[in-house]
């Protein structure tokens, strides 16, 4: 059972999520790929890499509770709408809590929107109060979000995204890993997107 949920079972959960929100499901796959890449560069142990990858796959599962009118809004979110969005890490953690084999993922998922200066959510944690794996996940999450087309803006060039991220209160060490390996990372994420598109074409064929 443990290995089931850490393999095809997780992909099945993401596939179900994809039926409602294809963008977020694909985003989660790319974030998982990037977070794992960063983790390997940092020398994380195999167990931590597995936890990181699986947490990344499920980090946005709580967005299933967010109305599509908010997720796909083209303009700026209102304060009330942003408060709804800010609940998704807690909801994601609550979903995972119901699967005993995945409980080790909870803190990673719960705190992936925390920021080093305490400006993040849901707990306002600072610096080393934020779990290491959550800090890696945060950097991977932001990079993919900035370099992907969103309802409210077009994708940023990877180099521009790096510049934007340098002004954000996220872990500079993990950002440096992306910057130093940017070309390889862009190619890896491009392949991940193409692999997913190919899978869709095969299913619909």
User: Phi, psi at residue 75, to the nearest 5°?
Assistant: -95, -175
Cis? peptide before 195, omega within 30° of 0: no
Instruction: Decide if 63 is catalytic.
Output: yes
CB proximity list for 75: less than 8 A, separation 6 or greater: 152
- Alpha carbons 146 and 151: distance in angstroms, whole number: 12
DSSP state of 103: G
Count of residues for the chain?
205
Decide: residue 46, CB within 10 A, 0-12 exposed, 13-18 middle, 19+ buried. Answer: exposed
Across the strands, what pairs with 153?
150
Beta bridge partners, 63, equal none
Neighbour tally for 165: CB within 10 Å: 18
Among the listed residues 53, 63, 76, 86, the single catalytic one is 63
**41 burial level (CB within 10 Å; 0-12, 13-18, 19+):** middle
Catalytic residues: 63
């Amino acid at each position: 059972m443990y290995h089931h949920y850490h393999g095809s079972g997780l992909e099945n959960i993401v596939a179900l999520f994809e039926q409602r929100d294809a963008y977020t499901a694909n985003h989660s796959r790319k974030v998982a790929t990037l977070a794992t890449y960063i983790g390997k560069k940092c020398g994380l142990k195999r167990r931590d890499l597995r936890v990181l990858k699986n947490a990344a796959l499920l980090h946005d599962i709580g967005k299933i509770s967010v109305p599509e009118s908010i997720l796909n809004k083209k303009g700026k979110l209102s304060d009330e709408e942003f408060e709804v969005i800010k609940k998704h890490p807690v909801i994601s953690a609550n979903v995972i809590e119901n699967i005993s084999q995945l409980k080790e993922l909870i803190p990673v998922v719960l705190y992936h929107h925390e920021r080093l200066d305490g400006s993040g959510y849901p707990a306002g944690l600072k610096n080393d109060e934020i779990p290491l794996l959550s800090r890696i996940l945060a950097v991977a999450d932001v990079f993919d979000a900035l370099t992907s087309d969103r309802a409210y803006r077009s994708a940023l060039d990877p180099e521009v995204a790096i510049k934007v991220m340098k002004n954000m209160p996220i872990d500079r060490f993990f950002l440096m890993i992306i910057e130093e390996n940017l070309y390889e990372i862009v190619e890896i994420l491009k392949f991940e997107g193409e692999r997913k598109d190919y899978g869709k074409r095969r299913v619909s064929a």
